[in-house]
Structure 1
Amino acid sequence: MKKYILLSSVATALLCFSSCEDFLDTLPDNRAEVNTEEKITSLLVSAYPGAYPVAMFEMASDNTADNGSLYDVETQATEQAYLWQDIDADTDQDCPQGLWDECYTAIGAANQALQSIEELGNPESLNPQKGEALICRAYAHFILVNTFCQAYNPGTAADQLGIPYMTEPETTVSPTYSRGTLAETYQKIDADIQAALPLIDDNLYTVPKYHFNMKAAYAFAARFYLFYVQEDKSNYEKVIEYANKVLGSNMQESLRSYSELTVYTDPDNIGDAYIDASNPANLLITTVYSSWPYIYGPWNLNLRYGMNRSVCEGETFLANAPWGTNIAFRRMIYNPEQKINFPKYMMYFEYTDKVNGIGYRHAVIVPFSTNETLLCRAEAYVMKAQPDYTSATADLNSWASCITMSGTSNLTESQIEDFYNGIDYTPVPLTSDGARTVKKYLNPIFPFADVKQENFIHCILHARRMECIHDGSRWLDIKRYNIEISHNREGLDPDVLKANDLRRAIQLPQDVINAGLEANPR
């Protein structure tokens, strides 16, 4: 179906190694022969996608507002994502085409590694590489399915479109693919994760934080099973089990303390400290091609769409919260007021021509952290068949102690209930910025057992929004809980993203559709 369907061929996956000819033999069809443990290990460096949909996700979420035509727009894709339009720009990795290409290229590298291991007889010595390849394949498909498909719902997943799940390298010129169902895609991710986890071995890596080390793999598993909801709620127990493996018995020592970042006065220093590989909170660190640090960061560009003061005061950093207002974020947020931000991700520019200022924009991101895994566990405690509010409250206090300047938190169950009972839902459509609150209308897969359960989820989603600010996770929470939000638009009525809105699944790249893969319905 042409190269635009899947860029996961062996040749594509191995182009990354064109500079490694000293140990890669070239076959007649210009592919590299991967036939040693060293080559397989090296190939897996390319099994991590060079793109992540953070810009699309943040623009589509309720973290962003329209500041009006007086201000500039960085890219067409930025505006289209905010307006929940099909993104037809294909200029960089912040667009659907770039994400699609990068993810399937990473999948191709993982599949080639797995095939090479098989051809070598599946020796036990290559189990760590096999585990890394499997978990990388699952992760890239997880990114794709959460971008281009609806959120998983066990009642509808068998009828929803999935994405092509690649388990072998491409070897033909015009292969034919189908998207399959959402249920099938999640089942295959599940199988890869379960096969990978027993094989992961941290001894394989010189710098484990740049690979799916054991804790990062279990953190991914915890998040996946939080998303992979089952009718009997059994997967919530898996979330707790895997999060426990990440957090261990001395959990507080591994969490990120945001007050420690307040010693820095320069945004660059905060960003460098946030992604520091020596910080135990950072479980996986990856580099992606992206303009996102420029788009959301503390610069006077792309001021048209951003987390402006009304969003910040009503819903994020400056909003009232059950853990109080003396929090570290307030010491580190930067203006301009059209896009107030916490500078967790900074831009790293790779020059290819310094004279003409030409090169590539890079961001270093933290896809998995102990803080976020802790909040996954807290949510699982609340949503499992028999809710455990005591454990959920303990986790919320552990997290809140990381963001308060005092380093402590003494929330009680009743305080959490009272706080969210005492505020109004944000109206939909939003007709006044002053009506913004941290409480949104939720439409969960399973109806809440009572108001207490709902209020705890409001608290956890509130905490997740703070913890995961600027990294795209808010959009995934909006999808998972079918949260109705509205975007203001200059000169027009607010646009409402309703529950089960088809626009919650970002449209496939146009070239992929043109090549024959079924488009998302609109």
Structure 2
Amino acid sequence: MKRNIILLLCIAALTFSSCEKILDKQPSDKLSIVDLFKDVPGAKTALAGAYSDLLSEYHYMRNTMVYTDLLAGNIKYSKIINNRLEDVYNVIQTPIISPMNDTYAGLYDELNNVNNIISYTPGAAGSDLEKAKILAEAKCLRALIHFDLVRIFARPFNYTANASHVGIAVILKPQLFGDPAPVRVTVAETYQVIINDLLEAISRFDDTNKGVLNGELKQNFFTKLSAKALLAKVYLNANNWDNAYNTADEIIKSNQYSLLTNANYVASWTGRAPSSESIFELAIENTFNSTGLGGYFELTNTAYRQYAATADLTGLYSASDVRRPTTMFNPISINSVAYLFSKKYAAGGTGQTPIKVLRLSELYLIRAEAALEKATPNFVQANTDLNAIRRRGDASAVILNLTSKNLLIDAVLLERRKELAFEGNLLYDLARRKKDIVRADCTSQNCNITADDYRLVMPIPSNTIIANRSMVQNQGY
């Protein structure tokens, strides 16, 4: 008994001593923030870190680039054990167990870091011109993160007539412990914040089409034109057709980017140099040697390989289409034959290639779709843009001249699926057009999902609901 008492006293003394040491320290995070943002070089360091955060597995290095195609029918598993995002594939995710819970937490961490940049950079010592660019790029990053969050965790913009349904918690300043708990605003309000950030960023950028980080390529950081490209995509998802058309049209006519040819399309996905049509992509460090997005699709790396294209997708391409995924025999595949992603994602590790977020081909398809939704549909422009992408992929494709609005919209959506496969778009395209998901090459517990199924929106993590009584859970969970 005496020994137990002595032991408890020792533990208490050690605990008190440790706490005393902690209490003796000044708030290290506050000091580090003040020190980091004392000048422009420090703010640039923080900005570089914010870009690097996008390459987390919960964000563009896996989850947000994979789950949309996995759930919507472009992707299946190429093995049967240790699979990532399996709950989403089976449509059985819950607020407690969902692979997208990490994405929710991670993206809000990213928002806090970006909000620090926006809050502290104005007081940094240095050039006003450089600070304006830092703030512009940070506003673009904040818009991108909010855009990803609202598409994952809320219904599409047109779910209600005025987008008055629940959106996400919009965070516009660094969150401190004493701050009021965040609440979810409407989807309309969410999109307005995203648009406001991008418009303000565009007004701050100069016309050099370069970011603030010297020596880097324009495609690796937000610029005035890449901010406009993201804005065009936001307008498309908000059914703001005139602005989507005009913004996409401006970028295409800027002549800052050009479509790849049929002959050099496949080669453009290898190496780390941006292509002529790349508008915004996430650069990979020269020393990068981790799994990477490509590692999940790599043929030889059976330890990590996860995903393959479905027959649903590969059957859409003609035999002469250069975008058609390569067919390879795979003895451990669920269906014996796996269509591998060798054309878009190189192997992980040192072979990992940049993650392309915005490409000129998507702007052509945005302009085509928006042209059809204008007050007076522009069939000539829609057909022209659609044919430009179709025949770039397959030089032998017949030239379309569709005169039915519905048929032409379906053709644009089909081309978006083929051109933007594995780039994290399919689920959102189906959702905003209120189309059901039908998966034929599918081993999921739920292969077919109707457009109004609540499970097409990811749940708010249960620990967020528990910690914040003001946070509303998505309907159905």
Q: Shorter-normalised TM-score: what interval?
A: 0.7 to 0.9
The equivalent residue for 1:276 is 273
Instruction: Say if 1:271 and 1:31 are closer, same or farther in 2 by CA, change over 3 A.
Output: same
1:218-297 alignment, distance < 5 Å = 218-229=228-239, 235-248=240-253, 250=255, 254-262=258-266, 271-273=269-271, 276-277=273-274, 279-286=275-282, 292-297=293-298
Q: Give 1:405 deviation, angstroms.
A: 4.4
The equivalent residue for 1:501 is 453
The equivalent residue for 1:86 is 93
Q: Give 1:97 deviation, angstroms.
A: 3.0
Give distance in 2, aligned partners of 1:334 and 1:385: 47
The equivalent residue for 2:287 is none
What SS class does the counterpart of residue 354 from structure 2 fall into? strand
Contact preservation (8 Å) 1:152, 1:228: yes
Instruction: Say if 1:250 and 1:166 are closer, same or farther in 2 by CA, change over 3 A.
Output: closer
The two structures have a TM-score, normalised by structure 2, of: 0.78
Give distance in 2, aligned partners of 1:405 and 1:62: 26
Instruction: Say if 1:339 and 1:472 are closer, same or farther in 2 by CA, change over 3 A.
Output: farther
The equivalent residue for 1:519 is 473
1:351-390 alignment, distance < 5 Å = 364-390=354-380
Q: Give 1:117 deviation, angstroms.
A: 3.3
Could you report, residue by residue, the CA deviation over 1:304-349 in whole angstroms, capped at 9, with x for unpaired residues?
9743335422xx335xxxxxx5221248555546431342123433
The equivalent residue for 1:460 is 412
Give distance in 2, aligned partners of 1:57 and 1:401: 26
Give distance in 1, aligned partners of 2:354 and 2:443: 37
Q: Give 1:505 deviation, angstroms.
A: 0.8
The equivalent residue for 2:68 is 57
Across the two proteins, how many residue pairs are aligned to each other?
421
Give distance in 2, aligned partners of 1:490 and 1:458: 23
Please tell me the residue identity of whatever aligns with 2:71: A
The equivalent residue for 2:21 is none
Q: Give 1:272 deviation, angstroms.
A: 2.2
The equivalent residue for 1:40 is 43
Contact preservation (8 Å) 1:287, 1:362: no
What SS class does the counterpart of residue 376 from structure 1 fall into? helix
Q: Give 1:168 deviation, angstroms.
A: 0.7
Q: Give 1:298 deviation, angstroms.
A: 3.3
Q: Give 1:59 deviation, angstroms.
A: 1.2
Instruction: Say if 1:90 and 1:335 are closer, same or farther in 2 by CA, change over 3 A.
Output: farther
Q: Give 1:258 deviation, angstroms.
A: 4.3
Say whether residues 1:101 and 2:113 are aligned partners.
no
The equivalent residue for 1:434 is none
The equivalent residue for 1:21 is none
Contact preservation (8 Å) 1:334, 1:342: no
Could you report, residue by residue, the CA deviation over 1:15-49 in whole angstroms, capped at 9, with x for unpaired residues?
xxxxxxxxxx9776554431212222221123332
Give distance in 2, aligned partners of 1:241 and 1:135: 19
Contact preservation (8 Å) 1:141, 1:165: yes
Unaligned runs of 5+ in 1: 1-24, 230-234, 265-269, 319-324, 351-360, 418-451
Give distance in 2, aligned partners of 1:28 and 1:182: 33
Please, what is the CA RMSD of the aligned residues?
Answer: 3.4
Give distance in 2, aligned partners of 1:317 and 1:87: 35
Unaligned runs of 5+ in 2: 1-26, 285-289, 331-335
Say whether residues 1:115 and 2:130 are aligned partners.
no
2:382 to 392, 397, 402: 392
Give distance in 1, aligned partners of 2:137 and 2:68: 27
The two structures have a TM-score, normalised by structure 1, of: 0.72
Give distance in 1, aligned partners of 2:306 and 2:41: 49
Contact preservation (8 Å) 2:241, 2:370: yes
The equivalent residue for 2:309 is 307
Instruction: Say if 1:389 and 1:109 are closer, same or farther in 2 by CA, change over 3 A.
Output: same
Give distance in 2, aligned partners of 1:497 and 1:389: 32
The equivalent residue for 1:474 is 426
The equivalent residue for 1:346 is 346
Could you report, residue by residue, the CA deviation over 1:362-409 in whole angstroms, capped at 9, with x for unpaired residues?
773101001111111111111111110001111112212321246xx6
Please tell me the residue identity of whatever aligns with 1:72: I
The equivalent residue for 2:3 is none
1:386-425 alignment, distance < 5 Å = 386-405=376-395, 411-414=399-402
% identical equivalent positions: 20
Please tell me the residue identity of whatever aligns with 2:170: Y
Q: Give 1:199 deviation, angstroms.
A: 1.5
Give distance in 2, aligned partners of 1:89 and 1:471: 27
1:100-249 alignment, distance < 5 Å = 100-119=104-123, 123=128, 126-153=131-158, 155-156=160-161, 158-172=163-177, 175-201=180-206, 202-203=209-210, 204-205=212-213, 206-207=215-216, 208-229=218-239, 235-248=240-253
Contact preservation (8 Å) 1:303, 1:338: no
The equivalent residue for 1:421 is none
Please tell me the residue identity of whatever aligns with 2:115: N
2:322 to 321, 328, 341: 328
Instruction: Say if 1:64 and 1:209 are closer, same or farther in 2 by CA, change over 3 A.
Output: closer
Instruction: Say if 1:388 and 1:364 are closer, same or farther in 2 by CA, change over 3 A.
Output: same
Give distance in 2, aligned partners of 1:338 and 1:304: 14
The equivalent residue for 1:18 is none
Instruction: Say if 1:271 and 1:26 are closer, same or farther in 2 by CA, change over 3 A.
Output: same
- Which deviates further from its counterpart, 488-497 or 454-463? 488-497
Instruction: Say if 1:494 and 1:158 are closer, same or farther in 2 by CA, change over 3 A.
Output: closer
Contact preservation (8 Å) 2:241, 2:371: yes
Give distance in 1, aligned partners of 2:246 and 2:442: 47
Give distance in 2, aligned partners of 1:362 and 1:179: 37
Give distance in 2, aligned partners of 1:238 and 1:492: 39
- Which deviates further from its counterpart, 175-184 or 297-306? 297-306
The equivalent residue for 1:10 is none
Instruction: Say if 1:370 and 1:489 are closer, same or farther in 2 by CA, change over 3 A.
Output: closer
Q: Give 1:221 deviation, angstroms.
A: 0.8
Please tell me the residue identity of whatever aligns with 1:100: Y
Please tell me the residue identity of whatever aligns with 2:379: Y
Please tell me the residue identity of whatever aligns with 1:298: L
Instruction: Say if 1:382 and 1:178 are closer, same or farther in 2 by CA, change over 3 A.
Output: same
Give distance in 1, aligned partners of 2:223 and 2:463: 35
Instruction: Say if 1:488 and 1:214 are closer, same or farther in 2 by CA, change over 3 A.
Output: same
